[in-house]
Structure 1
Amino acid sequence: MQFKEIVGQDAIKQRLINSVTENRVSHAQLFLGPEGAGALSLAVAYAQYLSCEDRQPGDSCGVCNSCRKYQKLVHPDLHFSYPFFAKHKEDTAITFIEQWREAFLANPYLNLDIWRGYLDAENKQANINIAECHQIIKKLSFKPFESQYKILILWLPEYLDKTGNSLLKIIEEPQPNTLFLLVAQNQDQILNTILSRTQLIKIPCLSYGEVKDYLVENGQPQGLAEQAAYLSNGNLTEAIQSLQSHDDNHHTLFLQWLRLCFANKGLEMIKLVDQMAKLGRENQKNFLRYGVSFLRECCLLQTGGEKLVHLPAEELDTAQKMAKVISVDAAAAITKELEKAHYHIERNANPKILFLDVSLQIVKCLHFKSLPKGTQYIT
């Protein structure tokens, strides 16, 4: 992967290039950025630039022997470690390397949910186990084979438990020309012993314009690209996923849900809950994210923020009507319930029970006009 293939992040790209040209390459670096910002892509492009046999002023050449191997993720001095769903205690990242290459090459902005789809995950929890830590130590105990550097890219070190402390010595005192590039999303979940031994590179969210322009350049209609970019909050992964599920018509389903809750139509509501429970986990998450974003747009309309609203004409008309009947407090309370539901869906909650519970909370807010205050409801 080359820097030019990565959306935005021009300042970070230049910083990484300068570290090479000025011979200031740290042996352990932490690329810390939110999901969809391109941290993993930047780490791979940086590794390719370091190993390129004909570096250009602003990027790797893309045509040398090293670059061609990097583009297929088969360079002998490039190693990956990542969370996986082990079936056996001896499983390591190399067990799943073919799936990893396929997943990254298909989408360099992949997240853990996308990665899970390439594996037979069942209900297993992702982690980086002790066998993988030992494998990392073994792989990095040798000198580089072809390039100047031997590079390990460790994606999501948050999934290292205390066994990750076995890596401390090799991180602190690696073999010459051995680099650790850690790619993380949540600094608080990384072992402090590892965090303290790395040079931090903070990667910001993408801007609305960067996400929108990328979507338009990749064939999306202007209107859909604008909506997806706005709702994604700088998360390119989320923007792409929301467009892929656009045909599911979340707007119609969400509006129907609110109307049934407003009218407190129990039997019809239960039938709709059954329908939502069958959407599949990713569609359920997208549906809940859509609901949160739509209600926030309604709140903007109620509080004089019309210029900040980004909705297609049909949805804007609905939001304007809804803003007249749902108070800001009620919208905020429902939004909180939807965000909690999204959190629990990510953690494999029973969707039928979950959506029924959320429905009852929305009925309290809309039909009975009873809003939460702490753990009590007041009218």
Structure 2
Amino acid sequence: MQFKEIVGQEAIKQRLMNTVDENRVSHAQLFLGPEGSGSLALAVAYAQYLCCEDKQPDDSCGVCSSCRKYQKLMHPDLHFSYPFFAKHKDDNALTFIEQWREAFIAYPYLNLDIWRDYLDAENKQANINIAECHQIIKKLSLKPFESTYKILILWLPEYLDKEGNALLKIIEEPQPNTLFLLVAQNQDQILNTILSRTQLVKIPALEYDEIKEHLISKYNQTEDAAAEIAYLCNGNLTEALIMLQQDTKGYHKLFIDWLRLCFGNKGLEILSFVDQLAKMGRENQKNFLRYGISFIREICLLLAGADNLVHLPASELETAQKMTTVMNIAMAQAISAELEKAHYHVERNANPKILFLDVSLQIIKTVKFKTIPQGTQYMPN
């Protein structure tokens, strides 16, 4: 993988290349970024740049022998470790390397749910077991085979339990030109003994405009469709790409229609609307609610006078501005709280008809009868 294939993160890319050009490569680095930020892809591109035989000013060459092997994840000095669902106590990452290569090449912005689909997970918990730790020590005790560096990319070290302490010595005193690139999402879940031995590379979530432009240029999305997905995914490109495969169109109109029915207290029409929502399917219901939460948040920003922080397409912004004339911050917060609870229950397979009818009644109480549930009131300073 080359840096040019990764969306955004230009400052991080330049920083990584500078460490190589200036010979300041730390032997143990932690790429810490939220899901969908591209941290795993950045680690692979960085490893490819390190081993490239003809480095360019802004990327690896992509055509040398080393780069061609990296593109297929088959370089003899590139090793991976990742959570898996062990069937036998001796299973390690090599047991699943073919599935790993297939998954990463298809989805460079991989997450654990996508990875699970490539494995026979059954009801097992993902982890990085002691057999894998021993395999890592064995592999990295050898010298590089054909490149300057031998590199291990360890994805999601959060899944290393206390067995991870077996790696401390080799992380602290590795063989010459041996690098550890850990790729994590949650710093608090990593063993402190490992965390203290790494150099942190902090990777931010992607910007709204970066995701929007990527969806338009690579996936031929319309301006409005790309804007809606970029808005909904909240900086998570993995989530944005999943949404591309779903029916994400019309959430704005659907959500506004719902609010209007509730504001008008249209009983029979609301029942018909709830039936429509119940037939959308769980993922679309979650995305619909996520859109509603985000839209209400933008209304709160408008009500608070923070217009410069609002990210809405022009047509949706106009609607949001109109909503501020019939809604105050306390009402918006009450609706948002109901939508968040509904999203939580949809994830846990609640009955959609009962759930959306209940939420509708709560919205009616808020927007029609101005009844704000206790604990959701906005308290100004």
Deviation at 1:375, TM superposition (A): 9.5
Give SS of 1:234's match. coil
What corresponds to 2:155 in structure 1?
155
What corresponds to 1:181 in structure 2?
181
The amino acid of 2:241's aligned partner reads I
Deviation at 1:50, TM superposition (A): 1.1
What corresponds to 2:69 in structure 1?
69
Q: How does 1:298-337 map to 2 (within 5 A)?
A: 298-305=299-306, 309-312=310-313, 315-316=316-317, 318-337=319-338
Q: Does 1:233 align with 2:234?
A: yes
Give SS of 2:351's match. helix
Deviation at 1:12, TM superposition (A): 1.6
The amino acid of 2:351's aligned partner reads K
Deviation at 1:101, TM superposition (A): 1.7
Contact 1:33 1:205 in 2 (8 A): yes
Partners of 2:266 and 2:85 in 1: CA distance: 42
Contact 1:37 1:204 in 2 (8 A): yes
Change (3 A) 1:306 1:16: closer
What corresponds to 1:351 in structure 2?
350
Give SS of 1:371's match. coil
Deviations 1:93-145 (A, max 9, x none): 22332222222212212222332333343444332223322222222222222
Change (3 A) 1:339 1:98: farther
Q: How does 1:271-310 map to 2 (within 5 A)?
A: 272=274, 276=278, 279-280=281-282, 282-305=283-306, 309-310=310-311
Q: Does 1:133 align with 2:128?
A: no
Partners of 2:268 and 2:351 in 1: CA distance: 15
Give SS of 1:31's match. strand
Change (3 A) 1:96 1:250: farther
The amino acid of 1:297's aligned partner reads E
Deviations 1:132-188 (A, max 9, x none): 222222222222222121111111112222222222122112222211100112211
Deviations 1:208-247 (A, max 9, x none): 3322222222122223223333443333223333343344
Moved more, 133-142 or 359-368: 359-368
Give SS of 1:351's match. coil
Q: How does 1:18-167 map to 2 (within 5 A)?
A: 18-167=18-167
Q: Equivalent pairs: percent with the same residue?
A: 71
Partners of 2:123 and 2:273 in 1: CA distance: 27
Listed as ranges, the gaps of 5+ residues in structure 2 are none
Partners of 1:352 and 1:301 in 2: CA distance: 34
The amino acid of 1:330's aligned partner reads M
Contact 1:43 1:181 in 2 (8 A): yes
Deviations 1:15-55 (A, max 9, x none): 21121122221111001112222111110011001111222
TM-score (norm 1): 0.84
What corresponds to 2:252 in structure 1?
251
What is the CA RMSD across the aligned residues, in angstroms?
3.2
Task: State the number of aligned residues.
Answer: 373
Deviation at 1:368, TM superposition (A): 5.9
Partners of 2:235 and 2:291 in 1: CA distance: 15
Change (3 A) 1:311 1:159: same
Partners of 2:101 and 2:69 in 1: CA distance: 12
Give SS of 1:153's match. strand
